[in-house]
Amino acid sequence: MSLLAIIGEALRALRLNRLRTGLTMLGMIIGVAAVVLMLAVGQGAQTTVNQAISSMGSNLFIVVPGATSSGALRSAAGSVQTLTMGDALAIAHLPSIKATAPLITGTAQLNYGANNWSTSVTGVTPDYFNVRDWPAESGALFTEVDLRSATRVVILGQITARNLFGDEDPTGKTIRIKNSPFVVAGVLAPKGQSLDGRDQDDAAFIPITTGQSQIFGNQFPGTIRFLMVQGRSDEVMDEAETEINQLLRQRHRLAEGTENDFTVRNMAALAAVATGAAKVMSIMLGSIASISLLVGGIGIMNIMLVSVTERTREIGIRMAIGANRRAILTQFLLEALVICIMGGLIGVAIGIGGAWAVSRATDMVVVITFGMVALAFAFASAVGIFFGFYPAKKAAALKPVEALRYE
């Protein structure tokens, strides 16, 4: 019997029991839809994390002062000020380092006309924007000249610009930061959320020298809040970390055996952890969803077993008129497979629709790839073959004379 004819027989048999077929299929539909939806949500989380990581800049170290101990008392990293502009310059000269960007941070009130906005004001060097891979969208970034002469210029993040200026073009306008006038040099391109969920566009940047001398009073002149260091490439990251540690220990005159008074964090390693966590979540969601697919498969096996018993006489008749075991096996296996494939198709459609609804209803990013749809579909078919095989085998193994006699 040709495969096409057997498929015809399978479809006919399934049509005869519409309700039963539908309910069995529902198991597959729910399973496949759940797998697609969960994979989409997991993949979305991964994408969000990856975006946040790449928005930070690549091959990055963050060096924070602290992790010192004076006697038995340990203070938190960053609570003492041991890093200086000099450290930043020295590190920048290391062979494995591409650039450094020292930062000082604070919060300030910004005024433009009647508008005001409170945001984080960060004192940076021009290299900061290279390290962060963050270009200006309009206007210009400040230069070494601004840095050296501690000019009162400011570069605004998207959110800050919108809150102060609305639709007006901020470039060249003068705003007040802590009552000092600053000229807006430019507005940065949008950057989005950071890993910790803060909006990076809600910010303003001024030359670090201007910040040190005019905005943030500091009892230790020349100290910085923390330091971003960019390695030359990912291969030299380990080497760079060692070099930074050695250099800073030497510059800070730390004796052998004492602890560092600074901490070097490899952001790539942190990023790997975050990506790893997102991936684990993705896999976990997928596996939980596939359990429902498994349950759907058991439903198929159950109904196929009932069907084989009910149709024992039909099987007997078919054998009497010339069906061999393979034809019977194929017929029942195909019935299970047709349920799975149709359920799979509907499930994929519902999963995609569900993912779309989730992304509309919440801020969650969902990502659907061809790969995950194919995976869900392949899994559904595998479930159909696996759970359909035993009942089909049972049908094919019936003895013609006994099957015919079955009432």
Partner 1 sequence: MIPQRHVSGDPLLKVENLSKTYSLDSGVKGGGTVNSQVLFDVNLTIERGEFVAIMGHSGSGKSTLMNILGCLDTPTSGHYWLDGRDIASLSDDELARVRNRNIGFVFQGFNLLKRMTALDNVATPLLYAGATRSESRKRALELLRQTGLGNFAAYQPNQLSGGQQQRVAISRALVNNPQLILADEPTGNLDTQTSREIMAIFEQLNREQGITIVLVTHEDDIAACTRRLVRLQDGRVVHDGRVPT
State the residues that interact with partner 1 by CB under 8 A.
1-2, 4-5, 8, 12, 16, 313-314, 316-327, 399-401, 404
Cβ closer to partner 1: 114 or 321? 321
**b/e per residue, 316-338, with b = 16+ CB within 10 A?**
bebbeeebeeebbbbbbbbbbbb
d(CA 66, CA 83): 9
Cβ closer to partner 1: 232 or 393? 393
Find the shortest distance in angstroms from Cβ 3 to partner 1: 11
Cβ closer to partner 1: 74 or 399? 399
Find the shortest distance in angstroms from Cβ 397 to partner 1: 10
Q: Decide: 124 and 194 in contact? Cβ < 8 Å.
A: no
Half-sphere exposure for 199 (CA within 13 Å, toward CB): 11
Q: Decide: 125 and 158 in contact? Cβ < 8 Å.
A: no
Cβ closer to partner 1: 12 or 198? 12
Find the shortest distance in angstroms from Cβ 355 to partner 1: 40
285 φ/ψ angles, rounded to the nearest 5 degrees? -60, -45
Cβ closer to partner 1: 280 or 401? 401
Find the shortest distance in angstroms from Cβ 387 to partner 1: 25
Find the shortest distance in angstroms from Cβ 377 to partner 1: 29
Question: In this structure, what token pair is assigned to residue 92?
Answer: 């920048």
CB atoms within 10 A of CB 374: 11
Find the shortest distance in angstroms from Cβ 335 to partner 1: 15
Find the shortest distance in angstroms from Cβ 25 to partner 1: 20
Find the shortest distance in angstroms from Cβ 327 to partner 1: 6
d(CA 119, CA 71): 37
DSSP states along 44-105: HHHHHHHHHHHHH-SSEEEEEE---EETTEE--TTSS---BHHHHHHHHTSTTEEEEEEEEE
Cβ closer to partner 1: 268 or 317? 317
Cβ closer to partner 1: 240 or 315? 315
124 class by beta-carbon count within 10 Å (0-12 exposed, 13-18 middle, 19+ buried): buried
Strand partners of residue 229: 61, 100
Question: In this structure, what token pair is assigned to residue 26?
Answer: 């529902």
Cβ closer to partner 1: 98 or 318? 318
Which 8-state DSSP code applies to residue 215? I
